[in-house]
Amino acid sequence: MPIETIYEAKIEYLQILDETGKLDKKLAKDTLSDEQVVEAYEQMWICRQLDEIAFKLQRSGRMGTYPQNKGQEANAAGSAMAMVKGTDWVIPCYRENLAMHLHGMPYHQILMHWMGDERGNMIPEGVKMTPLSVPIGTHMLHAAGIAWAMKLRKEQGAVITYFGDGATSEGDFHGAMNFASVLKVPTIFYCQNNQWAISVPFEQQMASKTVAQKAFAYGMPTIRVDGNDIFAVYKAVSDARKRAINGDGPSFIEGLTYRLGDHTTADDARRYRDAAEVEAWMEKDPLIRTRKYLVDQNLWDDEKQASLGERAEKIVSEIVKAAEGVPDPDKTEFFDHMFAEIPADLREQRDTMRTSSLGINPDQVGLKAQPQRA
């Protein structure tokens, strides 16, 4: 019997706006308008300025550990603009500040999270989003579950979840991918491949040439895009969203990008990354290439840049003031946001500030009378 090929696959790479700011007009058709590109650039710039100030806040002891988004802003901008605010769900990791903001999360609450104030994780009413996730990969399961609920309820919309290349080595990633593909739920899995899982380089944590090819194991449409290209990101996510809302199931997108800063403010990437590599990726900075494009199209100039710089400084200053100016929480708030309806024993603890339920019931585990020794 002859050997029969039963499966073949290929990975496409999508780039529409290259490092020099040159646009492939054919591929860019029906993607972003001039007004949207200007808006995206302005928002990326503001996000970058917030990053710089957040770094200073940590260094001055005014905030805890913080992970900069620097260099990865186009992934968040392009993808968030392709999703529909108020209809679609955003399930973030911790380098999607701009995507969270564009879908309704106030920046000052994101800073509050990193300042250790749990009220920063209170999602505003009507915003379809989960709190940012620091544990690696766990939130992808939430994305698959939310998408399944949407499908069962016949709700219009899709779910996008973000994660890094290192997260695809976690078991939760594979569980979420399998669940989503088998049940054909409207989930978009967006991997920000910044090529470093903290200090472990891409080629040392996986043998596959791309992250995108991991989706083949789950029969899922997949593509690798230039993650520093807002046009490519927008198009890939738009196409994935169309498949999702048409009932064609989940998609996987690998956004090839680079973490220009340290993993977090608790890290020093100079200890493990080559300076020449970082320098090469700085030339691919999404802010620089987007500005080059806008200038070439006579949509941007030095005067507009100066105005944006002043506006961004004022906005970020107000964000920091709002985050640091939040009144101290009332001690009862500890109880108020865990349950939709607080149980009676916790209500008593809240109202009396005593663990009354334990004190009045000595038969509870751990408080039973111990047998006397002879």
| Residue 51 DSSP one-character state | H
Q: How far is CA 242 from CA 71, 158, 238, 249, in A?
A: 28, 9, 6, 10
Structure tokens at 271: 């200890």
Catalytic residue among 48, 103, 259, 273: 259
Crossing angle, helix 286-296 and helix 34-59, to 10 degrees? Answer: 150
Q: Is 41 a catalytic residue?
A: no
Catalytic residue among 101, 139, 241, 263: 263
Among 244, 351, 285, CA closest to 74: 285
> Are 143 and 89 a contacting pair, CB within 8 Å?
yes
Q: Is 139 a catalytic residue?
A: no
Question: Hey, which residues does 163 pair with through a beta bridge?
Answer: 191
Q: How many CB atoms lie within 10 A of CB 18?
A: 17
Q: Which residue has the tokens 């449409």?
A: 221
Among 228, 250, 230, CA closest to 240: 250
> Are 213 and 204 a contacting pair, CB within 8 Å?
no
| Residue 252 DSSP one-character state | E
Q: Is 101 a catalytic residue?
A: no
Q: Which residues are annotated as catalytic?
A: 259, 263, 272
